[in-house]
Structure 1
Amino acid sequence: MDDQIQEGEHPFMHFNEFIKLNEQIWHEYFRGVFNEMLRKKLTLQDGGIILFPNIILFTQTDNHYIVELLGANRGYHGLTTKIHKEKSTQKYLYQFDYEEDPGYKGSLFHVEDTESKNRGMSGIDGGLLSKAIDIDKLNDRFGFRDHWPASQLSRANEKDGPLITFYGKIQPFYFNNCVLVNRLNDFYRIKDIVHMTIVNKNYSKEFYKDDLNVNLQDHFFQNKLLGVKHCKEEKIEDFALSSQFVNTFLIPNIRETTIGEFLFQNPSFIQKAFSCKQFLYEKELDWIEGNPNLDEKFINPDMLLEKDDGYFNICDLKLPKLNKKNLTKGKHKRRRFVDDVQEGIAQLANYEEYFHFDKNKELAKSKFNIEVLHPELILIVGNYENLKAEEVREATRSLKSNYRIIDYDTLNALFLNKI
C-alpha cells in the first residue's frame, strides 16, 4: 500500500485485461470463501446466511473501468460476465440523464486526484448515501420499508445532479455494501451496491492487481467479506434479492440480456413473483409447421412459466426504457403503445401461434416437456416512471384478454407481496 508510483514504469491497463484480472481474482476469492464455509472453518458469529453474487458486470466509461457484482444466491456457483458501456461514471451512478456541469457543486462528496505518489485503494464501507429525500415516496416505489441501512449520510441540497463526482486521475475507489438514493424531481432511483470498484483507465494492471488483493486481505483480517451480503433472517434475504433486481434494471442503458441473465441466475425471484412451479429461460423451439417464412426457423421466448396445472404461460422481456417519459401515445380514444412495446406484443402473438400447430406442440413436449393451453401472454417493459396503469388499460383495449403488460417496478412489487 505504501509503494511509490514511478511514472512510465508500468503500461496502462486495457479493458479486456481489466476483465480477465477481475474474473480470476474474484472467482478464486469467492470459491475460497465458500469452500471454507462448507468445511465449517468459516462461520458467522451472529448467525444468518451469506448471499453470493452470480453476475460480474464490467462497464467502460469515458475515463474509468467499473466492475460491479450483482445477484444474491445461497452458495457460490461461479460468475457470469456481462459487458456494458456508459458515457460517464457519474451517469452510471446517478442513473438519470443530466446536463454535464463543470462547476457543479451539488454532490454529496467528490473524489479527486490528490496528486499523491502513494498508491492504494480507498472507498466507502456501508451506509445509505442521498440528498434530501421523502422516505415515504421511496418506500412506495421500492417497498423496502424499514430495511434501509442504519447508517445514512445525506445532504440538504435540492439541486438535481449526481451524488458523487470524480475529478482527475483518481486512485482505485470502491463501494462496499452501499445504497445510493438518486432523485430527479419527484422520481427516485436506487443503486444497492454489494461491491463496485472504479479504476482510472490509465492505471497500471500490476498496481491494480496488488491493490485489489490487498483490499480483499485487509477486509478479511478485519472479519469482513467483500462482495457478499450477510442476512440474519430469510425475510432479509428476499429484500436483498429484490434490491439487487432493482439495481440491475435501473442501470442506464442496460441490455435485455443482462436483466434476463439476472432472472435466470436468481430463479426464486420469478418463481415467487408469478407463483409458478418453474420457469424455462430462452428455450429454442424449431418451427415444424405453420410458418410460411422459411427464414424464421425457430422461436425463442425469454421465459416460459409453468403453472400449477402443468401448462405454461409465455413471457417476453423488453427494456425499462429509463430515458423515455411515456410508453404510450395518443389521447384517451386513440391511446396505443409506442412501437417498441408493440414489437413485444407482436412477438408474444407469434409465440402463441406457434403452439396452435400439432407438430410444434409435439416437439415442445418431447424436447422440454412444455405444454401450452390458453396461455397468459406477459410483456415486461418500462418502469414506474413511464408506464402508467390507466394509460396501459386504455392502450390494451384492442388486445385479447390474455395479454398482460407490466413494468419492472410492478414485477418487483409482485415479488415483495409474496414475502
Structure 2
Amino acid sequence: MPATDQQLTEPAMGPAEALSELFTPAGKHNPYPLYDALWELGPVIPLGPSGTLVLGYDEICAALRDPRFLVTDAAVHRTTGMIDHSSWQCFTKIMMFSNSPDHERMRRFAAWAYSPRQITERRRLAARAAERWTTHLATLDADGGPIDLVETFATRVPISVTGDLLGVPEADRLELRTAITATTTAFEPVFDPDELLPADAGMDVLVDYLDDLVRERRRRPGDDLVSAMVRDRDADGALSEEELVASLVMFLIAGVQSPSDLIGNTVRLALNHPSEGRGMTADDDLVPAFVTETLRFDPPNHVLTRSAETDIDFHGHRVAAGSRALLVLAAANRDPRQFADPARFDVTRKDNRPLSFGLGPHYCLGAAFARMQVEMAVPVLLSRFPHLSLAAPPTYRDQLVTRGFARMEVMLGTT
C-alpha cells in the first residue's frame, strides 16, 4: 500500500499518549495510528465517571441499537450550556439530535425525501453537476498548474445537486457552502465556549436564509423540496415552523458536507490505487464497492456521541447515567475481528458493512443520497482526466468528528 494511504509508520505510542493526542491538529490529520494504540486497551475503554470510548465493531453496533444510549438532545445540551448557542439551538430541533418520540415524528415527516425513488430521480442532477464541474475544471487548466479539487469540484457537485433540489439560486450557493462547513465544527469536543463562534455564525447564515426561503415558497410555491415540505408541514402540522427550518438546514448540511468529504477521500484513494481507480471508469459494478471500501477505510464521519439514560452494564464496563459514550466509527471500521487485514484498502471485500452512516433507529436517512452523488461524480472526473494526479499531500480541516480535506491540490494532466 502506498505511504499516502496513511500506513501506520509512526513510532509506537501508549494508549494514554494516543488519547491525549487524538484531538490535537496532528491527531485529527492522521488518527489511525492513535486508534491502533488505543486498541491495546480493548474495544471499550472507560475514561472515568464522565465518559467511555468505544472502538469495537460489535460493541458500537450494540450501543447504536440500545435505546438506553440516547442522542445528545436539547435536554443534554441545557446541562452543558451549549443550548445557548445558535448552532445547537438549531441542531437540537432535528431528528439527528432528538430522542423518542420526537425522533420518530421528524423521521416520518422527512422520510419520503430520501426514498429510493427520490434518489433514483436525483441521479440525473448529480450526473449533470459532475459534467458541468469537470468541464469547468478543464477551463482552469490553461497553465497546467495545480488546482484545488476541494474548492473546484468536491464541494461544487454536492452544492449544485442540493441547491437545485432546495431551489437555492446559483448566486447564493457560495456563501451557504462556507457557512455549511463552519457549522460542522460544532460537532467537535468543545473546551472553550468561544470555539462555537464559527459554528454559530455559520448557523445564523443558514437559518436566516432558509427561514426567508420558506416564507417565499409559502407565498410562491415552486417545484422544489422546500415548497413540498412547506406544503406538507402546513397540511398536517407535524413539525413546528422552527423544526421545519431546522430540518431544511440539516438537509443542506448533510447533502453537501458528507458527500464533499467522501468525494475527496474517494478520489485520493483512486489515485493511490490506480488500477482500481481506472476500473471505476470501465466497470459500473466496481463503483459501489469502491465507495463502500472508502467508507470503511477512510470515512468522512469518525465519531458519534451517545448519553447514557441510566446506569448501563456495557460489555463488562459500567457506563454511568448521564455520562457520554464516544463511538469511534472509524476505529470500528478497522476492527480486526470484523475485517481481515483492516489496514489494507481492498475493494474485493465480501460482506463489507462499515458503520460510517451509523446503524439502528438513527441510521442516516441521507446515506443513499450521499453515496449516489459520489458514485456519479468520481467516475466522471476520472474519465475526463485519466492522468489526474496529486500535486501535494492533501491538507485536512482541524476536525475529527466530521473529517475531510481543507485543500487537495491536483494536476489534471491535460497539458
Q: TM-score, normalised by structure 2?
A: 0.27
* Structure with higher RCO (Cα < 8 A, 6+ apart): 2
Bigger proportion of residues as helix: 2
Q: Which protein shows a greater Rg? A: 1
Normalized per residue, which structure has more strand?
Answer: 1
TM-score of the superposed pair, with normalisation by structure 1:
0.27
